[in-house]
Amino acid sequence: MSALEAVLIALSHFPYPKVPRRYEGNEKKYFTYNYASDHGADFGDDEPGCNEVTIQVHFFLPLKENFQKEKNRIRYQLFLAGFTWPEVVVLEENDTLTRHIVFECGYVETVYKEEE
């Protein structure tokens, strides 16, 4: 399973829009997600045994809302979906009155190989 598929499984517990990179809708709460890094690891015979990726999940919500419980639920659901325990950064966007919470975590994907 890819990390992006695992993100959607983790976020399926939340009723908000979930889109890669950029959300252009009108909902007040939504998720975006992206790869932050992507590289081979566990090399043997000059080939990677796995692909280690870092994913960023961004949760946006109104600045005035209490976010602590939801932040903890999101982190835990990412962990249950197979990610490392997420590092979290909470940002405030005063121009849009939006809170932007960034979850960054690792995931191990299988290496894609062409069928011979």
Enter the tokens of residue 69: 């419980």
The domains of the chain, with CATH numbers, are: 3-109 (3.30.70.1700)
Give ∠ CA 2-56-111 in degrees, rounded to 5: 25
3: enclosing H helix or E strand: helix 3-11
Q: Would you say 102 and 74 are in contact if contact means Cβ atoms under 8 Å apart?
A: no
3-state secondary structure of 69: helix
How confident is the model over 13-61, as pLDDT tens digits?
999 999 999 999 899 999 999 999 876 656 667 665 557 889 999 999 9
SS3 label, residue 68: helix
Residues 73-111 pLDDT 10s: 999 999 999 999 999 999 999 898 999 999 999 998 776
Phi-psi region of 37 (alpha: psi -120 to 50; beta: other; left: phi over 0): beta
